[in-house]
Amino acid sequence: MKSVLLIEDEKNLAMFIELELRHESFAVTVAYDGISGLELALRQEWDLILLDIMLPKLNGLDVCRRIREAKNTPILMLTARDGVTDRVTGLNLGADDYIAKPFAFEELLARIRAILRRQERAEGAPSHQVLTIADLRIDVEARTATKGDQPLELTRREFDLLVFLAQNPNIVLSRDTLLDKVWGFDAEVAGNVVDVYIRYLRSKLDTPGEESVIHTVRGIGYVMR
């Protein structure tokens, strides 16, 4: 049975989600504020954390950041429909996905299952996979990357995007494919998020005056060569 920590201060919504997830055979624990939620997140091991952004005592973005400093537990954020800035910030802080309120439970369940499938695939992947592209060396298991002899300081999302590009060299990958495989969500701002992260990666990977290892294919997406 998969364990879920739900951090949500709207008690009626929290009760609804809890009952529906229990019906789907999840073990659910609920916290109603950011501080108690953070304490539970750090003290116990969870298969998934559902995290609201607007929380009393400590907001969800701060909770996400502090969890990510200690753990890689998958995090799905619950956000306001118009909170584009919060959604992007949450993803930058290490959230795995988000869903905007109000939402249908069926969509929430689908996103939860998608995150858990990705986690299971990652845990079952061959150990110590090392990828090399030009002078880049990426240790998938250790989650480290170097360019020549210099280590690269990458965020969790930057590293995941780099790994997927490097696992598919010379294959043009659309923005939708990158969103599905790296973020696992689709939204109005989704394409822009991919472009932003490609720029982040290029700023860390590229050598001034030399061609980037990540190439733009106009109107389609990106390819690593």
Residue 186: its pLDDT value, please? 47
Average confidence score pLDDT of the chain = 87
How many degrees, rounded to 5, is the angle at CA 76 between CA 70 and CA 78? 120
Residue 128: its pLDDT value, please? 61
Contact 77, 49 (CB under 8 A): no
How far, in whole angstroms, is CA 4 from its chain's centroid? Answer: 17
User: How far is 181 from 6, CA to CA, in rounded Å?
Assistant: 24
Ranges of beta strands (E only) in 81-133 are 97-101, 130-133
Structure-derived torsion over alpha carbons of residues 73, 76, 79, 82, reported in degrees to the nearest 10: 120
Q: Residue 2 half-sphere exposure, CB side, CA atoms within 13 Å?
A: 21
Query: Which domains are assigned to the chain?
Result: 3-124 (3.40.50.2300), 130-224 (1.10.10.10)
Closest Cα partner for 166 from 139, 189, 186? 139
Residue 19 — pLDDT band, cuts 50, 70, 90?
very high
Per-residue pLDDT tens digits for 115-126 = 888 887 766 655
Mean pLDDT confidence for 17-31:
93
> Does the global pTM surpass 0.85?
no
Residue 121: count of CB within 10 angstroms of its CB? 9
Q: How many residues does the chain have?
A: 225
Per-residue pLDDT tens digits for 144-198 = 999 988 999 999 889 999 999 999 988 999 888 888 778 775 444 445 888 899 9
**Residue 16 pLDDT > 80, yes or no?**
yes
**Residue 141 pLDDT > 60, yes or no?**
yes
Among 29-33, 58-62, 78-82, name the one with the lowest average pLDDT: 78-82
Contact 48, 97 (CB under 8 A): no
Mean pLDDT confidence for 97-124:
85
Per-residue pLDDT tens digits for 40-55 = 999 999 999 999 999 9
Give me the amino acid identity at 15.
M
Residue 120: its pLDDT value, please? 79
Residue 30: its pLDDT value, please? 96
Q: What b/e string do you get for 180-206 counting C-beta neighbours within 10 Å, with b at 16 or more? A: ebbbbbebeeebebbeebbebbeeebe
User: How far is 220 from 171, CA to CA, in rounded Å?
Assistant: 11
Residues forming beta bridges with residue 139, ordered by sequence position:
130, 144
Among 63-77, 128-142, 152-166, name the one with the lowest average pLDDT: 128-142
